[in-house]
Amino acid sequence: MTEIDNKVAHLAIIMDGNGRWAKKRGLPRLLGHRAGVNTLERVVYAAKDRGIRYLSVYAFSNENWNRPSVEIKGLMKLFSYYARKKLRDLVKADIRVRFAGRKEGLPDSVIKAMDVAETETSDCEKMTLIACFNYGGRQEIVDSVNRFVKEHPGEPISEDAICSNLYMPEVPDPDLIVRTSGELRLSNFWLWQSSYSEFFFTSSLWPDFTPEVLDEALNTFNKRERRYGGLK
């Protein structure tokens, strides 16, 4: 492992490029997603070894429902399978698993896999892995406002009110957001929480992402000066 002075508490990753990776090799898109899961496994343990406390990944967005039904069904089966298969290893590594997003509309098998993973890893403390599944940043903000209005009718809406009603209000905002595949946008990911996040973009397709690229991102972050709108 490369020795780095890690200053990132919460690393967020937009895992992009599975389909293009498969297409370049003349493979079905689902095989690209399988390769992406293998990469995620490597990155999870690399992040833990580097002292990252929270790792959140964009696994399935609200907009991904617009993809072909065959691909969606394959993704759901893939998610359920790996959520169960890797659970024992995650517990052994002391990694907690949590999910951000809406459960409405998801297959029962996926919801059950989520519930089991969260329950079985609830006592793990070394790192928290957050899978944003059926997630959308705009939807999260809408859900937060609606929840507050329902519980506090007539009260003014403040930043603190929205923050306290987000999906995971206790999780610190991402320090660094990494996006693969060369795309330069957030794609509705952590919209509220990313207000002062730093960004790192790489042309590597997600299945080609390595711990070495992760170290490059972390080292780049360490060289930046974060002023949060003020002066140092």
187 known ligand binder: yes
Check residue 1 and give its pLDDT: 44
State the average pLDDT over residues 27-49. Answer: 97
| pLDDT higher than 90, residue 3 | no
| pLDDT higher than 50, residue 47 | yes
190 known ligand binder: no
Q: Which of 49, 64, 188, 219 is catalytic?
A: 64
- Domain for residue 64, yes or no? yes
| pLDDT higher than 80, residue 231 | no
192 known ligand binder: no
- Domain for residue 154, yes or no? no
* 16 is an active site residue: yes
206 known ligand binder: no
- Domain for residue 24, yes or no? yes
Q: Which of 6, 16, 134, 175 is catalytic?
A: 16
* 38 is an active site residue: no
3-class secondary structure for the chain? Answer: CCCCCCCCCEEEEECCCHHHHHHHCCCCHHHHHHHHHHHHHHHHHHHHHCCCCEEEEEEEEHHHHHCCHHHHHHHHHHHHHHHHHCHHHHHHCCEEEEEECCCCCCCHHHHHHHHHHHHHCCCCCCEEEEEEEEECHHHHHHHHHHHHHHHCCCCCCCHHHHHHCCCCCCCCCCCEEEECCCCCCCCCCCCCCCCCCEEEECCCCHHHCCHHHHHHHHHHHHCCCCCCCCCC
Residue 58: which CATH number? 3.40.1180.10
Which residue range forms the structural domain that includes residue 97? 10-138+172-222
Check residue 225 and give its pLDDT: 82
State the average pLDDT over residues 93-108. Answer: 97
- Domain for residue 160, yes or no? no
In the chain, the number of structural domains is 1
- Domain for residue 151, yes or no? no
- Domain for residue 163, yes or no? no
